[in-house]
Amino acid sequence: MLKWPHWRNAGIYALLLAIALVMVFPLLWLLSTSFKGPTENLLATPPQLLP
């Protein structure tokens, strides 16, 4: 049987992973828009993540 600290550690790691994904997403967006050509609409709705 797992003790309480193991579940707490799993929750902390899940929270840290979620925060890391939120922090990395703008960098991925920056890279994806840098590879788009001048004819592509950068402000399209809905936005395209991949060029």
pLDDT in tens, 7-44: 788 899 999 999 999 999 999 888 888 888 777 777 77
Please report the sign of the dihedral spanned by the C-alpha atoms of residue 1, residue 5, residue 17, residue 14.
Answer: positive
Read off the DSSP letter of residue 47: P
Q: Distance between CA atoms of 26 and 19, rounded to whole angstroms?
A: 12
The SS3 of residue 40 is coil
* pLDDT computed for residue 35 by the predictor: 84
Q: Check residues 6 and 49 and name the one with the higher pLDDT.
A: 6
pTM of the model: 0.58
Domain ranges in the chain are 1-51
Read off the DSSP letter of residue 25: H
